[in-house]
Amino acid sequence: MVSDTSQPDPSQWLTTPAALDQWLEDHQGQPIGIDTEFERISTYYPIPALVQLAYPGEFYLVEPQVVEQSKRFRELLADSGQPKLLYAMSEDVELFRSWLGVPPSGMIDLQLGAALGGFGFSVGYARIVETVLGTTLDKDETRSDWLARPLSAAQENYALNDVRYLHPLWQHISAALQERQLSEALIEESERFCNELNASVPDEEMYLKMRGGWRLNPIQQGVLKKLAAWREKQSRERNRPRGRIVSDTGLIGLAERLPDSLPSLSRVADVPPPVVRRYGEILLELIREGQTSPLSSDQMITQPLSVAEQDRFKKAKKLFRVKAEAQDIPIELVAPRRKLEQLIHEIRDHNRTGDSVLLKGWRERLLAENRIELEKLLSQ
Phi, psi of 220 (to 5 degrees): -65, -40
Q: In what order do the strands lie in the sheet with 32-39?
A: 13-14, 58-62, 47-55, 32-39, 84-86, 107-109
248, 279, 299 — which closes off a domain?
A: 299
Q: Are residues 291 and 217 in the same domain?
A: yes
Strand partners, 51: 36, 62
DSSP 287-307: HHHHTTSPPPGGGSPPPPP-H
Q: Are residues 291 and 321 in the same domain?
A: no
Domain carrying residue 26: 2-198
- Euclidean distance between CA atoms 256 and 342, whole angstroms: 26
The domain that contains 235 carries what CATH number?
A: 1.10.150.80
* 3-state secondary structure (DSSP) of residue 39: strand
User: Can you give the length of the chain in residues?
Assistant: 380
Number of structural domains found in the chain: 3
**Residue 150, preceding peptide bond in cis (omega within 30° of 0):** yes
Confidence at residue 87, expressed as pLDDT on a 0 to 100 scale: 98
Q: Are residues 10 and 152 in the same domain?
A: yes
- Euclidean distance between CA atoms 132 and 315, whole angstroms: 35
272, 299, 326 — which closes off a domain?
A: 299
The domain that contains 61 carries what CATH number?
A: 3.30.420.10
Contact, 176 vs 115, CB < 8 A?
no
Q: Are residues 131 and 233 in the same domain?
A: no
Q: Are residues 232 and 373 in the same domain?
A: no
Q: Are residues 275 and 350 in the same domain?
A: no
**Which DSSP symbol is given to 83?**
-
Q: Are residues 264 and 313 in the same domain?
A: no
Confidence at residue 348, expressed as pLDDT on a 0 to 100 scale: 75
Helix spans in 27-87 (H): 64-68, 71-78
Q: Are residues 40 and 172 in the same domain?
A: yes
Confidence at residue 9, expressed as pLDDT on a 0 to 100 scale: 56
* 3-state secondary structure (DSSP) of residue 271: coil
Q: Are residues 54 and 150 in the same domain?
A: yes
For the chain, 380 residues long, give each residue's pLDDT as a single digit of tens: 555 555 555 569 999 999 999 999 999 999 999 999 999 989 999 999 999 999 999 999 999 999 999 999 999 999 999 999 999 999 999 999 999 999 999 999 999 999 999 999 999 999 999 999 999 998 888 788 999 999 999 999 999 999 999 999 999 999 999 999 999 999 999 999 999 999 999 999 999 999 999 999 999 999 999 999 999 999 999 999 999 999 999 999 999 999 999 999 999 999 999 999 999 999 999 999 999 999 999 899 999 999 999 999 999 999 999 999 999 999 999 999 999 998 898 887 766 555 789 989 999 999 888 888 888 887 77
Contact, 365 vs 303, CB < 8 A?
no
Q: What is the pLDDT of residues 135-187, one digit of tens each?
A: 999 888 878 899 999 999 999 999 999 999 999 999 999 999 999 999 999 99
Confidence at residue 14, expressed as pLDDT on a 0 to 100 scale: 97
Q: Are residues 112 and 252 in the same domain?
A: no
Side chain identity, residue 170: W
**Which DSSP symbol is given to 354?**
T
Residues 6+ apart with CB under 8 A from 43: 239, 240, 241
Residues 6+ apart with CB under 8 A from 40: 46, 47
Q: Are residues 8 and 147 in the same domain?
A: yes
* 3-state secondary structure (DSSP) of residue 199: coil
Side chain identity, residue 9: D
Q: Are residues 137 and 253 in the same domain?
A: no
Q: Which helix (H) or strand (E) holds 116?
A: helix 110-116
299, 323, 352 — which closes off a domain?
A: 299
- Euclidean distance between CA atoms 20 and 370, whole angstroms: 50
